[in-house]
Amino acid sequence: MLWSERTWAELPVDLEKASQAAILPVGATEQHGPHMGTGMDAVLADILCTAVSERTSVPMLPTMFYGCSLGHSRRWPGTIALQPVTLINLVKDIGDWAYHSGVRRLFMVNTHVTNVAPLRCALEMLRAEHDDMMVALVNSATISPRIRAFHFADGDDWHANDAETALMLATAPEMVRPDAQAGADDPDRTEGLVFSHPVNRTSTNGVTGTPSRATRENGKLWFDWMVEDLSELILRGLKEKPPLDRSYFESSG
């Protein structure tokens, strides 16, 4: 159920049926090696959350196609990055307006690793301002143990790897260049490092992992797992209540 396709007369009914919940997909536009389109994260966020919205009947807000991608440097063309504070304020504004439309449970579904810190800041701001709003931050690569396992199979600092390439082969094959896929592998060079380095200092081609191994069959299986596990998580969230019913603004005295 796409928020953008519903009218102002329909959305209050939609939200009431969905326990006042909405899904916000957050992706990025950034280089994904020589073999994959720059919009991979945003495409995955959009396709995944659309499927989950259909399965759970929770309205999906329009997908955010830009994120905090500063770490990808200017070495490779294609990255369009937001400053962290820009992403924080953008998500805070979206959350405020969603609240005034009736949203009380907001699920932020993030498909880009370095969006995490700004999104967490936006979460803190939203719940501090709106006492009766619950906000969840779900990172697509760690929805469940089985999903984490295939994402991290070829590197802790993975990017444009087997997992991401397979998911695109299964759901958006136009994003992958098969002629470049076979030679796109690049190893994870971050093991044991103390500092967090930008991608220009850890990868020769913007990839970390083994996209040469990616198959459509694995991608379909893994995507089905992601839809199933994210849907289950959101359905649990629709029933959740805070452990204690105490106002954010009330003093204990």
pLDDT at 253 over 80: no
**What amino acid is encoded at 179 in this protein?**
D
Q: Indicate the burial class of 193 (C-beta count within 10 angstroms; 0-12, 13-18, 19 or more).
A: exposed
Instruction: Report residue 60 as tokens.
Output: 């999906």
What percent of the chain has a predicted confidence (pLDDT) above 70?
100
What mean pLDDT value characterizes the chain? 97
CA distances from residue 243 to 97, 232, 246 in whole angstroms, order as listed: 26, 20, 9
**pLDDT-based confidence at 252, cuts 50/70/90?**
confident
What is the pLDDT averaged over residues 41-60?
98
**pLDDT-based confidence at 243, cuts 50/70/90?**
very high
What is the pLDDT averaged over residues 156-179?
97
What is the pLDDT averaged over residues 147-151?
98
pTM score, two decimals? 0.96
pLDDT, tens digit (0-9, with 9 covering 90-100), for 94-133: 999 999 999 999 999 999 999 999 999 999 999 999 999 9
Cβ neighbours for 1, distance < 8 A, ≥ 6 positions apart? 14, 53, 54, 57, 58, 59, 60
Cβ neighbours for 7, distance < 8 A, ≥ 6 positions apart? none
